[in-house]
Structure 1
Amino acid sequence: MKNIFVGNLSFNTNEDELRQIFEGYGQVDRVSILTDRDTGRSRGFGFVEMASNEDGDKAITALNGSQIGGRTINVNEARPKAERGAGGGGFGGGGGGGRDRGDRGGRGGGGGRRDRY
């Protein structure tokens, strides 16, 4: 079994179309195009699971850099999240750019309350 990442898809490409394209290289077990959870619109990438590694390798070689829906697609072996170097977790962000929590200066007015006597 080979899990394949397909990127730079047209927002109009659907799972059936993607399945038909990959079936030219072997048995396709599963196809999923990821969508925005709020709008339901395609996020422009998806995954194809091929039954065998050999068929998956053939599809990757043949389809990477090809055109689907007027766009040049990226086709690569999918990597597990741990290998992709997933971020620090929880709500994204990188910790605020390394600034100390007490550092509020740098923009004139400063931060916090100042009592003037």
Structure 2
Amino acid sequence: MNIYLGNLNYRVRENDLRGLMEQFGIVKDARVVIDRETRRSRGFGFVEMESDDEARNAIETLNEQEFMGRNLIVKEAMPRPERPVGFERTQRYKEPQEY
């Protein structure tokens, strides 16, 4: 199960998330989302647990608990919504047209 962790301290790194979650079971992956431009944490991340039962236990135990000075928001991660067909990042920014 994939878990969303929000309201993270901006100093939290992937090894911090992994260490926090390993007390509940086997962690398959842990990542902190980083801003592409500033290269700094965006204050949230995701952890994938091997067992759904262990993941649910972690969610119930850690939600609204303090970690590195901030109260966590912990819940099951929702899949990303599908982008419209033909949508590309480059299409959002068009060059000004000359008249």
Task: Name the TM-score class by shorter chain.
Answer: 0.7 to 0.9
Instruction: State TM-score, norm by structure 1.
Output: 0.69
Aligned identity (percent) is 40
Superposition RMSD on alpha carbons, in Å?
A: 1.7
Instruction: State TM-score, norm by structure 2.
Output: 0.81
One-letter code aligned to 1:55: E
Equivalent-residue separation in structure 2 for 1:40 and 1:81 (angstroms): 22
Q: Unaligned stretches of 5+ in structure 1?
A: 92-117
RCO greater where, 1 or 2, for CA within 8 Å and sep 6 or more?
A: 2
2:37 pairs with 1:41: no
Residues 24-103 of structure 1 aligned to structure 2 (within 5 Å): 24-82=23-81, 91=92
Match of 1:4 in 2: 3
Residues 8-23 of structure 1 aligned to structure 2 (within 5 Å): 8-23=7-22
The count of residues paired between Structure 1 and Structure 2 equals 87
Deviation at 1:10, TM superposition (A): 0.5
One-letter code aligned to 2:77: A
Q: In terms of Rg, which structure is larger?
A: 1
CA displacement, residues 31-51 of structure 1 (integer Å, 9 cap, x when unaligned): 010001111100000000000
> 3-state SS of the aligned residue for 2:37?
coil
